[in-house]
Structure 1
Amino acid sequence: MPFISVEDKHLTVLNLFTSDEPAKQDRLIEEMTKIVNAATYEGWMSSTVHAGIDGIGTLNFIQWRSGEDLEARYAGEEFNHRTLPVFSEITTSIRLMQNEVAYVLTTPALGGKVEIGPNRDDYTAFGVFPVTDEGQEDVIDALGAGQEFFTEVPGFRAHVVLRGLRARGLDGKFVISYSQWDSKEAYDAYTSVPADQQDPRRVAAQNRIRAAITGQPYLNTYKVVHTRAAGE
């Protein structure tokens, strides 16, 4: 199964697809699974397909050796004449986001290792935050070190912050948050705490984020449904 860490220095690509019908989400998962199972691209390391829970759509968490390898894939006939046309038919938006892992936090039991795969029962929370050029690093710090209190929150498992490098379908700088929880109940309990009862550290982090974002963040929750790594 794929692992996420700061030390590995992989190029992490998050392909975010939204749609307007549950049947189209099923089709997205079907098409993504076909591509993942047939993947033999130079420099491709792993792909992990997520099914949307609160919102209709999919998320593909992909690890590449380098940006050059990814651009070779984007320049290929299959991607431009098969992959993109198929996805364009069944989506309302496509965002292909290249990132580097900037921060990882886990419970002590996980020992700093973030594993992703359908063998786990993680309830995954995901967010894309559009930010100002000068505010990107502050948002990374606010989402990361500013939320180290997560380890005290019941049901928390792991949290990853990614620095956006470049994207198709998304303009400007961005930061991504990817978190794993024991269950929907645990995540909802955390997100539903009234503002006047929230931990001051949480309030401070949120204020820093609000000061640097340029638009409405995209937030959704997911379940991992398929994964495959090179050589499998």
Structure 2
Amino acid sequence: MPIIEPENGSLTVFNLFNTTDSEKQATLLDAMRGIIAKANYPGWRSSTLHAGVAKPCAANYIQWRSIDDLKERYDGENFKHNTVPYFTDLTTSVHLLKTEVVSVQTKDGDARTEIGPDRDDFTVIVLMGCESKDQSELVSLLDKPDEWMRKVPGYRSHSILRALDGTMVVNYAQWDDAASYQAFHTMPEEQRPAHDRQMRARGKSLLTSRDANTYEAVFSQSCEGYAS
């Protein structure tokens, strides 16, 4: 399975698709599975497809060797004239976000985590928009080791990624199930430790937008000889 870790040298791309209903989501996921299963592009390392749970959408977590490899793929004639129009018809929006992994924390203290359908994670992807001047501070708030989080029931991991254009920070989190995540998400502020309350308050003041959705990983593929 693909691995998230800060030191693997990959460009991490989130390809995010929104659509209108479960039928179009199913068609979108089938089409993405077909593309991923046949992927052999220069510089492509892995793709992990996620199906939206809370709303009809999809997310593809992709690892590339470099931005140049990504550009070569998306500048291709087949991609521009066939792939893009097809997905435009299926979706209400498509967002391509180029990032790098800053930190990973897991329940067991590892600095890396696997992703893929075999793990059965309940996955949450949070997109936090910010001014470029505030991105470093927002990252520093979110990427600090947090022993309290490791003890939260149902918590598995969270990974912090920064957008290369400076306008966003992503939290990719893994939980046991929807109930444990919901209990954490709706936990009253007074039940959280002081450091968490302070971090959340300062973090919210830096945001220009926030968008979150829940997912399950449904398909994953890596290039031959690449596992992280």
With the shorter chain as reference, the TM-score category is over 0.9
Q: Please say which of residues 205-214 and 16-25 is displaced more in the overlay.
A: 205-214
Question: What is the CA-CA distance between 1:93 and the residue it aligns to?
Answer: 1.0
Alignment partners' CA distance in 1, 2:219 and 2:83 = 18
Q: 1:54 aligns to what SS in structure 2?
A: coil
What is the aligned partner in structure 2 of residue 222 from structure 1?
215
TM-score, L = length of structure 2: 0.94
Number of positions where the alignment pairs a residue of Structure 1 with one of Structure 2: 225
Q: SS of the residue aligned with 1:87? A: helix
SS at match of 2:162: strand
Amino acid at match of 1:28: L
> Secondary structure at the residue paired with 1:163?
strand
TM-score (norm 1): 0.93
CA distance in 2, matches of 1:91, 1:223: 19
Q: Please provide the CA RMSD for this pair.
A: 1.5
CA gap 1:175/1:148 in 2 versus in 1, 3 angstroms? farther
Alpha-carbon distance in 2 for matches of 1:140, 1:132: 12
User: 1:113 deviation in Å?
Assistant: 2.6
Question: In structure 2, how many angstroms separate the alpha carbons of the residues matched to 1:212 and 1:9?
Answer: 28
Give matches, 1:67-146, under 5 Å: 67-108=67-108, 111-145=110-144
Which consecutive residues of structure 1, in runs of 5 or more, have no partner in the other structure?
167-171
**Contact 2:103/2:111, CA 8 A, preserved across alignment:** no
- Contact 2:98–2:164 (8 Å) recurs in 1: yes
Residues 1-51 of structure 1 show CA distances to partners (whole Å, capped at 9, x for unaligned) of 100100112100000111111111111101110110111100000000000
The C-alpha deviation readout for 1:101-121, integer Å capped at 9, x for no partner, is 01110112x633300011111
Unmatched segments (≥5 aa) in structure 2:
none
Distance in 2 between residues matched to 1:140 and 1:95, nearest whole Å: 21
What letter corresponds to residue 187 of structure 1 in structure 2?
Y
Structure 1 counterpart of 2:220, which letter? Answer: T
AA aligned opposite 1:133: S
Contact 2:161 2:170 in 1 (8 A): yes
Aligned residue for 2:11? Answer: 11
Alpha-carbon offset, residue 148 of structure 1:
5.0
In structure 2, the residue corresponding to 1:214 is in which secondary structure?
A: strand
Alpha-carbon distance, 1:133 to partner: 1.1
